[in-house]
Amino acid sequence: MKLTKTFATLLSLAALTVSTVSCDSTIFDNEGDCESRYEVKFKYIHHLKYGDAFPYEVASVNLYVFDRSERLVRSFSEPVTQENAENFSIRLTDLPTGDYTLLAWCGVKDNPAFTVNPDSRGNETGRTPDYTCRINRDDNGDIYRNLLHMFHGKKTITIADDPGDHVIPMELIKNTNIFRIVLQHQGDVTMDPKNFKFDISDDNGHMDSDNKLLADSRVTYHAFEIEGASAQLKFPETQIAAVAQDPELTADRPATTVINAVAAEISVGRLLDSNNAVLRVTEISTGKVIFSLPAIDLALMTKAFDGYSMSDNEFLDRQDRYTMTFLLDDQNNWATKQIHINKWFVVYNNSTLQ
């Protein structure tokens, strides 16, 4: 009977001892139960595509961590590779408990098109407002390169002494767009790509830490790629009509329609509906401006036709590619005032784009 009582007392003392051991005890060093782990998981879902496009479009992540006084306390710069893209995240290490602001500029690492914190001269110092992102241009404000994919993300977080794994989602907004401009000749004249200049001018070359546009000199984005194309198309209706007019025409000599075109791609920064971006195509041999049109109004036409129920700025942030086709006559004039924008056919008049 005495032995039973002594054993019960020892059990009670052991339970009390275990219950009073804190997470700071070395007993739990190898267990991990009491460690607080915070990691940032990035997503790119603010688009008109399907699913999370982060693994397919984001090439790198620059993440900056600022404390409550907006002072930079940590920074990370990591490439996104085939191996890590699906589960890419950044672990926030060595951060005391407290409130922080996370700022992400993605796609700028090893990308000569952009400079983050342009006034720092390469030193990672400063405060949150200093971490702007500037599109690099020459002394005349001209940009000739493909900007590639660039993204922004920002959020405030709290690091607490809370054991376990904590995933912080960071949603990104894409800040770069591609305009593909196609000039198609109405006749069968071959077009020389070297005879045309394509550009878009805008005042959107510098973004602040909130991704708003800063006051900046106007920049001009030039086509980074121009190519010529020629194709022969054979249509049954064309063949039937041709045979009716020329009985000697046979299947061995089919009637064809020849299409000649020049296509250019222009990479531009973030588009806002309040800006005055101008798309211009010039014939180099004569200096004639074939057309000069409001690029953002043209881009927003696809929102109206597709019936998206969102603001203009949200649409411009979600859509990142615009294909526009213009028909030219024998004098390289914009012939019919018609435009094909993405999948839509638009007839232009003097009031449409004002």
> For 310-319, what is each residue's pLDDT tens digit?
999 999 999 9
Written as one letter, the residue type at 11 is L
- 177-347 and 33-174 share a CATH fold: yes
Question: CB-based contacts of 170: which residues, under 8 Å, 6+ apart?
Answer: 40, 41, 42, 43, 102, 104, 153, 155
User: How far is the C-alpha of 354 from the C-alpha of 331, rounded, in Å?
Assistant: 26
> How high is the pLDDT of residue 354?
46
User: How far is the C-alpha of 51 from the C-alpha of 46, rounded, in Å?
Assistant: 9
Q: What is the 3-state secondary structure (H, E, C) of the chain?
A: CHHHHHHHHHHHHHHHHHHCCCCCCHHHCCCCCCCEEEEEEEECCCCCCCCCCHHHHCCEEEEEEECCCCEEEEEEEEECCCCCCCCCEEEECCCCCEEEEEEEEECCCCCCCEEECCCCCCCCCCEHHHCCEEECCCCCCEECCCCCCCEEEEEEEEECCCCEEEEEEEECEECCEEEEEEEEECCCCCCCHHHEEEEEEECCCEECCCCCECCCCCEEEECCEEEEEEEEECCHHHHHHHHHHCCCCCCCCCCCEEEEEEEEEEEECCCCCCCCCEEEEEECCCCEEEEEEEHHHHHHHHHHHHCCCCCHHHHHHHCCEEEEEEEECCCCCEEEEEEEECCEEEECCCCCCC
> How high is the pLDDT of residue 306?
84
Tokens of 316: 């411009």
Domain boundaries, the chain: 33-174, 177-347
CATH fold, domain 33-174, is: Immunoglobulin-like (2.60.40)
User: 177-347 sits in which CATH class?
Assistant: mainly beta
Q: Which segments of the chain have a pLDDT < 70? A: 1-33, 121-122, 233-256, 348-354
Tokens of 241: 């009509």
Q: pTM of the entire structure?
A: 0.84
